[in-house]
Amino acid sequence: MGALQLQGLRKSFGKTEIIKGVDLSVQDGEFVVFVGPSGCGKSTLLRMIAGLEDVTTGTVVLDGEDVTNVAPARRGIAMVFQTYALYPHLTVRDNMGLALKQAGTPRAEIARDVDRASTMLALDPYLDRRPAELSGGQRQRVAIGRAIVRTPKLFVFDEPLSNLDAALRVATRIEIARLHRELGATMIYVTHDQVEAMTLADRIVVLRAGEVEQVGAPMELYNDPDNTFVAGFIGSPKMNFLKGAALGDRADTVGIRPEHLAISREGGTIPGTVSHVEKLGGETLVYVRTEPHGLLTVRLFGEHDFAVDESVGLTPDATRVFRFDASGRRLR
Ligand SMILES: Nc1ncnc2c1ncn2[C@@H]1O[C@H](COP(=O)(O)OP(=O)(O)OP(=O)(O)O)[C@@H](O)[C@H]1O
């Protein structure tokens, strides 16, 4: 139940091709996250899977069935969006049970399924309220509950947490991870949030301008990126890119993560000047102006007192550098 194959998927709006040939196989029960810069086509791809957007060429296969031309409601896919799209005049209970009611499900069965979902999502105390009487996080839980009661083959989520404040985002993220474990359902999730992608995904799909750059488990992408794009996109703060020639390195570009760049007042391989310091509590980020590499980021654990305009030296941990050729491809 819930295996998905995308084969040669393409999508054009007018003359502009937005999705440029995507092949992807998602296993039953897998949690796959789409990430990529704004406008790269994440939502469009998700909407093509759900049937909300026509496919220009290619096929969508769900559970072994070609659903490319099947209407959204008949695909067995439940969708959760950034905006909750709840019916304001219906109670939480009725919002959650509506799809089942419309499908002609017997009343007792609806009540049982709604109760089960509401218990999973800790919504029991709110079943008789209307959406206006709920917080944003509670509303999003109702939208998720509405998806669960349909026992879909596949869940698709389009930035479901981006309207929530920081604390609620964390709580709801953990709930989604738990739901995935409990339901064992296939989930496809679009986000621009690094932490959501890293913590929720079994595999992350990195998209760039309508094409797949790399697919892999979060730590695989972090530890073994194929190119400068993936290396720069996965990880926050992002990887530093240095000029190989200036370091006497055979590579065009040398990548080093901020946590693998040592900083010292006594000097180092790369001289520079502190341009800015951010103390985040548990860690300190020091931004250092260098020649010819530009602004580099150093990540230190704990609190550190580097001052703006101070002269420092940076030294990359030689065992943690990534090498890339002039086209950005990884040299292994
Ligand atoms: N209905 C449409 N007509 C024309 N162009 C569209 C349409 N929908 C999306 N696009 C374009 O397709 C591209 C991809 O959009 P999409 O919403 O899929 O990107 P995204 O990766 O989800 O971006 P974001 O992270 O900003 O939400 C964008 O350039 C967008 O302007």
Residue 24 has pLDDT above 90, yes or no: yes
Residue 8 in contact with residue 20, Cβ under 8 Å?
A: no
Cβ(18) to ligand 1 under 6 A?
yes
Bridge partners of residue 211, in order along the sequence: 208
Task: Report pLDDT digits (tens) over 140-184.
Answer: 889 989 988 888 889 999 998 888 788 888 888 888 898 899 889
CA–CA separation, 301 vs 182, rounded Å? 35
Residue 6 has pLDDT above 90, yes or no: yes
Cβ(43) to ligand 1 under 6 A?
yes
Q: What does the domain layout of the chain look like in residue ranges?
A: 4-229, 238-331
- CA 232 to chain centroid, in Å, comes to 15
Q: Which of 108-117, 160-169, 265-274, 320-329 has the lowest mean pLDDT?
A: 160-169
CA–CA separation, 59 vs 14, rounded Å? 20
Residue 239 has pLDDT above 80, yes or no: yes
Give percent of the chain with pLDDT exceeding 90: 79
CA–CA separation, 194 vs 35, rounded Å? 8
Q: In the chain, what is the straight-line distance between the N-terminal and C-terminal CA atoms, in Å? A: 38
Ligand 1 centre to CA of 40 (Å) is 7
Give percent of the chain with pLDDT exceeding 70: 100
| Edge-to-edge strand list for the sheet holding 322-324 | 240-243, 253-256, 322-324, 330-331
Which pLDDT score is estimated for 84? 76
Task: Report pLDDT digits (tens) over 277-301.
Answer: 999 999 999 999 999 999 999 999 9
The CATH number of 238-331 is 2.40.50.140
pTM of structure? 0.91
Ligand 1 centre to CA of 197 (Å) is 20
User: Which of 10, 12, 13 most suits a substitution to test ligand 1, by most atoms within 8 Å of the C-beta?
Assistant: 13
For the 4-229 domain, the top CATH level (class) is alpha beta
Q: What is the DSSP string of 40-63?
A: SSHHHHHHHHHTSS--SEEEEEET
Residue 73: DSSP 8-state:
G
Cβ(42) to ligand 1 under 6 A?
yes
ipTM above 0.95, yes or no: yes
